[in-house]
Structure 1
Amino acid sequence: MAIRLTIEGARVLAPDGWTDALHLADGAVVDAAQPRRVRLDGWLVLPGIVDLHGDGFERHVAKRRGALKDYTSGLQSIEAELAANGITTAYLAQFYSWEGGLRGPEAAERLCAGLREYRTQGTDMRVQLRVESHMIDAFPDILALVERFGVPYVVINDHLPHDALEAGKRPPRINGQALRAGTDPERYLQRMKDLHARRDEVPDAVSCLVEQLHARQVRTGSHDDADAAARRAARALGLRVSEFPETMDAAQEARGAGEGTILGAPNVMRGGSHAGKVAAEEVIAAGFCDALASDYYYPAPRHAALRLAGQGMVLDEAWRLVSEGPARLLGLPDRGRLAPGCRADVVILDPADGSVGATLCAGRVTYMAGPVAEALIAA
């Protein structure tokens, strides 16, 4: 049930700057004060985090010795982690890949079906489908899956080790990957070779798939653009969002064309890329970043925004990278801002350490703890 509440005394991030009160009613931000009031002196009241890409959910749905009988328990655990980290809208980045296992077509089907049946506590959880570009024979099935479950966002990946395959070498770590996917390593290697052999067919097939996705109002993007040429190639295929560009040139190319750029929040937390790619903070400083995503760690967006603010970036601007920026990229005008008429998606933070005191999704409490919980209960 959505609460009717006025929060007073806090630092509230409104679209035009900071204010000291926020009014919530019927799941939305409103103009009028509400009879039920709570004072949260000194606390930060910010728009809920919109996470465009997160695969931290995988560990919650990974089967081990038959422990997971259905997706309900896993999705409950995912939602709890999201809420505890201030995330109110989450795109679960699910592979549709030749890699199999948790990244295979069957896993994608299970997640979509499980999410459709799940009774959420309030968090808006959606699927981002990560399609491997060389699975061209599966494109009709992928399109059918998108239609059946209303998948709103598709990203094209390519994780084939092309250099090794082209040189006739055995890719590293293939035995472990095959066993995790539940298949024989030699069969796994042959699958890679067969897909690599069809690389000349991929651009036309992907372009056709993207055109069909756009006709169904599905957002599309590329992943790990290596340089400006890679971004131009992705643009030629119709992919208008650049997710995790690996170089400054790739990010600049996207910005120059008016395209959205998403970077990994863990990169900001760490102070650089774990894989030796461009540091997210450098791209942000250059003005080429629109949004930060959790990638593999759900606490990361919150911590990254606060780290940027601690290093001199205005908190308003830093927080927009995890709220308004991602909402705009994916066409969600009703969230990412605490403006009248927008969803009451709110995260309340302790300014001393950035910990979450409460999270509200469309005016429903999905997480609360400590002094904020005591204040809300007493109000």
Structure 2
Amino acid sequence: MRVEIRGGRILWPDGTIEEGSLAIEGGRIAGPTRATGFSAHRVIDARGLLVLPGIVDLHGDAFERQIMPRPGVEVSLGVALQETDLQVVGNGITTVFHAITWSWEPGLRGRDMAHRLKEAIQAMRGRLAADTHIHLRHETFNLEAVEEIAGWLADGSIRLLAFNDHTPSIHKLLGQPAKLQKYAERAHLSVAEFEALLHRVWARRDEVPAAIRRLAKAAAASRVASASHDDLSAEQRQQFHQMGCTISEFPTTEEAARRAANLGDPIVLGAPNVMRGGSHTGAVGASAMIAKGLCQVLASDYYYPSLLHAAFRLAREGVLPFAKAWALISANPASAAGMTDRGMIRAGARADFVLVDDEQPALPRVAATVVAGRPVFQANRQLVAGF
């Protein structure tokens, strides 16, 4: 189907924003066009709107709240993924990576759920509006899963692998049942059962480094991007870089981020941190890191609307020009994931767009979302005939 996006203010690859029209054929951008020179089957009226590259979200786990809206209350995965998809495209996200945590803990983040989610995402791909992929968050103490995850990497089930290491911080809570309660509930275990499991997992800690090297090598062999999560130090980032793990996801110190920057490794921070004006956990302030050049990618983390609002806030407060702020949620994450076909509005790229009403700069809203040339969401006004 031939489509035209007509009359919007388009963000071009050189950073300029100029009014124009775009032709779309076969789900890809055919290039700029004049209304008189292109016969379109469908016209998207973008007058008064910004036409921006679709948002690419490398790390979002808010879908977990759709699966388990309350502790111990699980919703059908089909319903949860479908509702998540509506949230995603409604917030301008055209490529989404569901960050599935596979831990040694049973329950929401255990083996059974990881397998069920992978199978559900694969089965529902034709129904989901966003281009949906799996970002597997591997808890490094989950030694039993290493061979299975290597198989997932080899068969293409995973598009991004992250190495999480939350076990040491959980281990510090041994003997504090009140603080372990939330972990036990998530795992559907009693506190005593959870403590016994934690003791068994901790006893194998000397095997963890070799398992990390095994999976980092498998990811590289399968050309799957990999990330280290919550880097604590420059040395830790250097070690992961040497294993071919070139994305630094949510570094916890400026020292670790600076080493990543010096190595040329993309640094991922949370868009909610920018949107809210600071971290909810007391971690480094993302806006300050961005101003120092210590962040190339923003991710939704736990709140999908944060990506749109973070980019606009960075531009509004003068932290970055708008084009560079938008690149943090479009071109840069696409590049970090090795997706060279999206993230910019250029001929030949995927026709992934978000049309934004910026009449109130402090409260931008998504007017429409287009994925591979297909309008999948629109709000408030009729933009597409017959949609």
Quick check: TM above 0.5?
yes
- 8 Å contact from structure 1 (residues 162, 196) kept in 2: no
Matched, 1:278 2:284: yes
State the SS of the aligned residue for 1:92.
strand
Task: State the one-letter code of the partner of 1:188.
Answer: F
Separation of aligned partners in 2, 1:197 and 1:287: 40
CA change 1:67–1:280 in 2 (3 A) is: closer
Of 301, 306, 328, the match for 1:300: 306
1:14 aligned partner: 12
2:60 aligned partner: 54
CA displacement 1:146-166 (0-9 Å, x = unmatched): 44562111101011145854x
- 8 Å contact from structure 1 (residues 136, 206) kept in 2: no
Separation of aligned partners in 1, 2:287 and 2:234: 19
State the SS of the aligned residue for 1:42.
coil
Separation of aligned partners in 1, 2:74 and 2:64: 14
- 8 Å contact from structure 1 (residues 203, 237) kept in 2: no
Separation of aligned partners in 2, 1:328 and 1:321: 10
Q: How many matched pairs?
A: 373
2:385 aligned partner: 377
Matched, 1:35 2:39: yes
CA displacement 1:303-339 (0-9 Å, x = unmatched): 0000001101211110000000100000111110010
CA displacement 1:259-282 (0-9 Å, x = unmatched): 111010001011111111111111
Separation of aligned partners in 2, 1:28 and 1:228: 41
TM (norm. structure 1) is 0.92
CA change 1:198–1:236 in 2 (3 A) is: farther
Residue 144 of structure 1: how far off its partner (Å): 2.4
2:253 aligned partner: 247
Separation of aligned partners in 2, 1:235 and 1:186: 38
Task: State the one-letter code of the partner of 1:14.
Answer: W
Show the 5 A alignment for 1:190-339: 190-312=196-318, 313-339=320-346
- 8 Å contact from structure 2 (residues 6, 47) kept in 1: no
Residue 344 of structure 1: how far off its partner (Å): 0.6
- 8 Å contact from structure 1 (residues 222, 241) kept in 2: yes
- Greater shift, 301-310 or 214-223, is seen at 214-223
1:178 aligned partner: 184
CA change 1:189–1:110 in 2 (3 A) is: same
Unaligned runs of 5+ in 2: none
- 8 Å contact from structure 1 (residues 121, 366) kept in 2: no
- 8 Å contact from structure 1 (residues 243, 263) kept in 2: yes
Unaligned runs of 5+ in 1: none
2:193 aligned partner: 187
Separation of aligned partners in 2, 1:74 and 1:356: 22
Separation of aligned partners in 1, 2:183 and 2:204: 22
1:101 aligned partner: 107
Separation of aligned partners in 2, 1:358 and 1:254: 36
TM (norm. structure 2) is 0.90
CA displacement 1:62-108 (0-9 Å, x = unmatched): 38788734x32222111110010000000000000022211111111
CA change 1:38–1:298 in 2 (3 A) is: closer
